[in-house]
Amino acid sequence: MRSINGQFTDGISAAVYDVALSLDYSSGHLVVCSLPEEEELDRWEFSDIVVDSQHGGERYHVHQGVHTGGMITSGSQALLQALVAEGCPQKTVAGDRNPAAFILTLSVAIALVVSGIYLSLPTVSRELAEVIPLHYERALGVNIEGILKWTYCESEEAANVLTGYANLLGPERAGSWEVHITTGSTPNAFALPGGVIVFSAGAIDQSESLEEILGVLAHEIEHVERRHVLSSVVRSTILTSLWSLTIGDYAGLMVIDPNTAHNIANLKFSRDLEREADAGAIKRLLANNLPVEGLGSFLKRIGHGNSAMPEWFSTHPTTATRVQALSEASSRVQPHPALPGNGHTHTSLAADWDLVRASCVKTIEAEE
Amino acid sequence: MSSIPSNPVSPPLITGDSSPPSTAPTEHTFQFNGKGWSFFTLMLKHIFLNIITLGIYLPWAKSEKRSYLWQNIEIAGQPLRYHGTGKELFKGYLKVAAAWLGYVGLTTAAASFSATAGIITQVVLGIGIAAVIPGIILGSRAYLLTRTSWRGVFFGFKNVKLFSEFTRLWIGGYLLTLLTLGLYTPVWGNRIHSYLTNNTLYGDMPLQYRGDTKTVAGLFFRSLPFILLTGGLYYFWYAAKLMNYQMSETYFQNAHGRFEVKGSQLLWLFLVQVLGTTLTLGLALPWVSTYSFRFIMDRLSFVGEIDFATIHQSNQTIEGAADSFADVMDIGIGI
């Protein structure tokens, strides 16, 4: 190969020299000679050379070693091809040579990985939730409660009544349930990990009887007992952490931050989990001789689930579907096997309802 | 084997140097050659590898991104080169993880004794973290500079210590800024800029910043009423004047910097960055990034004579831990 012109820096000073470049195949070197004297300045072994060709092919840079200072700049395609033919590695940006194929392949791969994660996440979350000890779950619930900083407005008597019913409906954790009523006119009820169940004052206000509240209470207890709440927290944490790790936002790795805490407070369970909770609630109510129609009538009134949306698209079963399912379940199910059985009667539901309903009245009036 | 003549055979290749003798000073221009599509393919690769490695690939992705950006920045026709490695950054992130675990462990242990002990521990550790922030900023900058070379010679940074004059300057300025409700900001900012620039080395030669605080403060206070009256819009015109001034007062040997940007152009860049990313849900980020780099480089240059033959290599080694800390704490340069 005839000599080719280029520019050379020696890595000792910042000066740049005009040089003539040639390949010595017998010794396996790239030879650098000064111009115009053609005095040999340096020679690099082919095995030391790395070619950077990220500039659209007009110019490229030849480096001696990965981090040593010597560098040659040239625009000769003949030299580039000769160096590559001698086995000199050529650095390019991923996808530079065939961007469309690269982008398509990677996009499909990312879609497959994300789909795999999304599809396996519910199962993985439930398995992980099962192995978390109850006291850790309780501590998590207390932590979330602390972040959310709600204002509870129930009276002590109302709290005792509702907690008493919770211990009845959820004997597996009797003594560790807590039921609160928070200010807020929007009807809502949810459970935190560990057994804290919260009703909004709006839910109490829109209910017409204690039976309806007990139906919702049994439903939320079933969510907690089946670890739906905890597995949803685990799922949310995994998704948030994966996203943070992917984009490099390490601050997002905080397990519970205010945003996550609020999301937990507004969790929407899948349709299957909601059906499970509905069926389990019926069993719990039946086992304690409590009316089972309350949950259905409450849902009908509130319009829970988005009836305007096709059910297959919604995370909730439609209200009509749930009410029908509740009605069918109440006619055929047996008492919950884990519960002590029938025989417990209640004669003061009306009195208890008056107590609960009066609990946050002043707060609701103030908001209105 | 290397046999370099004592003087360059031809004058160092500087843009414009091959033209007939002229009284016009030599201008060393900056140029950015990166393309949106190639940056996009790189980012896509990083997203995929980050997902399947649960984020472990992140340090290598960061290194590769910097390598791509640096190699597409040319000064006077010669590219920058990035020499940092993912392994260095990964070791740094491990140290960050260890520090975080230590923080959590200490606060949890203290809180288990009493709530008061927990609070005191958090406060003490918080003060400690605040005290090392300036050192981390310095360390991060020093790491990036010592991993960057141009024309085969590495950049560097003097006085890299966890606690140094910069710590006093940074913390003191921060407190004064708070006490003066922000009015001390231009003075603090200029002193920080001066310290960082004057301690930056190319080879064995330092940059020099000769801008004075009085001019910078005057610029701020003259602009402040307009910034307030325009609801902040005039900030871009103030920022343009500040950047033009600070660059023009930055010297290297006999050359001084030049940055020619108008407020309207900065506003345009801001709109491109914000709207370009939000309206495309982040998909246009590679194009926005390359556009931003090109925007800056097209307006940046050094004017004057530089004798490159007198600039020699200096050997400086800095660990990558400070850069990793800066990244996690969001106090780095953001690349």
Mean pLDDT of A185-206: 87
Residue B315 at interface with chain A, using a CB cutoff of 8 Å: no
- pTM of the predicted model as reported, rounded to 2 decimal places: 0.74
With CB atoms and an 8 Å threshold, state whether B3 touches A69.
no
The whole-number pLDDT of residue A249 equals: 60
Predicted local confidence at residue B196, as pLDDT: 94
Q: Do B4 and A7 count as a contact with CB atoms less than 8 A apart? A: no
Query: Is the minimum CB–CB distance between A99 and chain B shorter than 8 Å?
Result: yes
User: A174-188, B1-15, B17-31: which has the minimum mean pLDDT?
Assistant: B1-15
Q: Kindly state whether A254 is in contact with chain B, defined as any CB-CB distance less than 8 angstroms.
A: no
Q: Averaged over B143-157, what is the pLDDT? A: 91
Give me the mean pLDDT over the B86-113 stretch: 88
Contacts of A202 (CB under 8 A, 6+ apart): A184, A185, A186, A187, A188, A364
Chain B residue with Cα closest to A53: B71
The predicted-structure confidence for A291-309, as pLDDT tens digits, reads as follows 888 888 888 877 654 444 4
Contact A14 B55 (CB under 8 A): no
Using the predicted structure, report yes or no on whether residue A313 has a pLDDT greater than 50: no
pLDDT > 90? residue B205:
yes
Q: What is the pLDDT of residues B136-148, one digit of tens each?
A: 888 889 899 999 9
Who among A12, A35, A69 is closest to B10 (CB)?
A: A35
**Interchain proximity B41–A69, CB inside 8 Å:** no
Instruction: Give the Cα separation of A147 and B119 in Å (integer).
Output: 17
Place of tokens 């640096």: B70
Percent of chain A with pLDDT over 90: 10
Question: Per-residue pLDDT averaged across B240-249, rounded?
Answer: 97
Give the pLDDT confidence score for residue A325 in this predicted structure. Answer: 73
What average pLDDT does this structure show over B168-193? 94
Q: What is the pLDDT of residues B266-276, one digit of tens each?
A: 999 999 999 99
Residue B142 and residue B144: Cα distance in Å, rounded? 6
Q: What is the total residue count of chain A? A: 368
Q: Highest mean pLDDT range out of A320-324, B147-151, B290-294? A: B290-294
Chain B within 8 Å of A100 (Cβ-Cβ)? no
Contact: B42, A93; criterion CB under 8 Å = yes
**CB-based contacts of A133: which residues, under 8 Å, 6+ apart?**
none
Q: How far is A124 from chain B (nearest CA, A)?
A: 16
pLDDT at B19: 43
Sheet holding A4-9, edge to edge: A40-45, A29-34, A17-24, A4-9, A71-74, A60-64, A49-52, A90-91
Lowest mean pLDDT among B66-70, B128-132, B211-215: B128-132
Residue B160 pLDDT > 90: no
A108 touching chain B per CB within 8 A: no
Contact across the interface for B72 and A55, Cβ inside 8 Å: yes
- What is the structure's pLDDT at A57? 55
pLDDT tier for residue A341 given thresholds of 50, 70 and 90: very low
Banded model confidence at residue B237, pLDDT cuts 50, 70, 90: very high
Comparing CB atoms, the residue among B58, B79, B203 nearest residue A61 is B79
Q: A315 or A357: whose pLDDT is higher? A: A357
Supply the pLDDT for residue A95: 66
Q: What is the mean pLDDT of residues A32-38?
A: 87
The winner for highest mean pLDDT among A120-134, A353-367, B209-223 is B209-223
A/B interface, count of CB pairs below 8 Å: 165
Query: What's the mean pLDDT in A117-145?
Result: 84
Interface of A with B in 116-175 (CB under 8 A): 117
A216, A189 Cβ separation under 8 angstroms = yes
Report the pLDDT averaged over residues A72-101: 83
- Which one has a higher pLDDT value, A313 or A127? A127
Contact: B44, A42; criterion CB under 8 Å: no
Give the residue from B13, B204, B281 with the most A CB atoms within 10 Å of its CB, the best one to mutate: B13
Q: Using a CB–CB cutoff of 8 Å, tell me whether B65 touches chain A.
A: no
* Alpha-carbon radius of gyration of chain B: 22
pLDDT given for residue A366 in this prediction: 54
> pLDDT tens-digit profile of B13-25?
333 344 444 567 8
| Nearest-neighbour CA in chain B from A16: distance (Å) | 5
What pLDDT sits at residue A330? 65
Between residues A19 and A268, which one has the greater pLDDT? A19
On the question of pLDDT at B264 being above 50, the answer is: yes
The pLDDT of residue B317 is above 80: no
Question: Are B55 and A248 in contact (CB < 8 Å)?
Answer: yes
pLDDT of A254: 47
Q: What percent of chain B has pLDDT over 70?
A: 90
Residue A101 touches partner B, C-beta closer than 8 Å: no
Q: Residue A55: is its pLDDT beyond 60?
A: no
SS (H, E, C) chain B: CECCCCCCCCCCCCCCCCCCCCCCCCEEEEEECCCHHHHHHHHHHHHHHHHHCCCCCHHHHHHHHHHHHHHCEEECCEEEEECCCHHHHHHHHHHHHHHHHHHHHHHHHHHHHCHHHHHHHHHHHHHHHHHHHHHHHHHHHHHHHHCEEECCEEEEECCCCCCCHHHHHHHHHHHHHHHCCCCCHHHHHHHHHHHHHHCEEECCEECEECCCHHHHHHHHHHHHHHHHHCCCCCHHHHHHHHHHHHHHCEEECCEEEEECCCHHHHHHHHHHHHHHHHCCCCCCHHHHHHHHHHHHHHCEEEECCCCHHHCECCCCCCCCHHHHHHHHCCCCCCC
Distance from CA of A264 to the nearest CA of B (A): 24
Judged against a pLDDT cut of 80, whether residue B194 lies above it is answered with yes
Chain B's closest residue to A108, CA to CA, is: B48
d(CA B175, CA B183): 12
Using the predicted structure, report yes or no on whether residue A253 has a pLDDT greater than 70: no
ipTM of the complex: 0.75
* pLDDT for A238: 81
Q: What's the whole-number mean pLDDT along residues B155-180?
A: 88
What per-residue confidence (pLDDT) applies to B60? 94
Least confident of A136-150, A343-357, B65-79, B298-312: A343-357
Q: CA A294, CA A353: separation in Å to the nearest integer?
A: 13
Question: Mean of the per-residue pLDDT values for chain B?
Answer: 87
CB of A15 within 8 Å of a chain B CB? The answer is yes
What span, in angstroms and rounded, lies between the C-alpha atoms of B245 and B216? 8
Angstroms from A40 CA to nearest CA on chain B: 7
In the predicted model, what is the mean pLDDT of residues B174-197?
Answer: 94
Question: For the ranges A89-93, A208-212, A234-238, which has the lowest average pLDDT?
Answer: A89-93
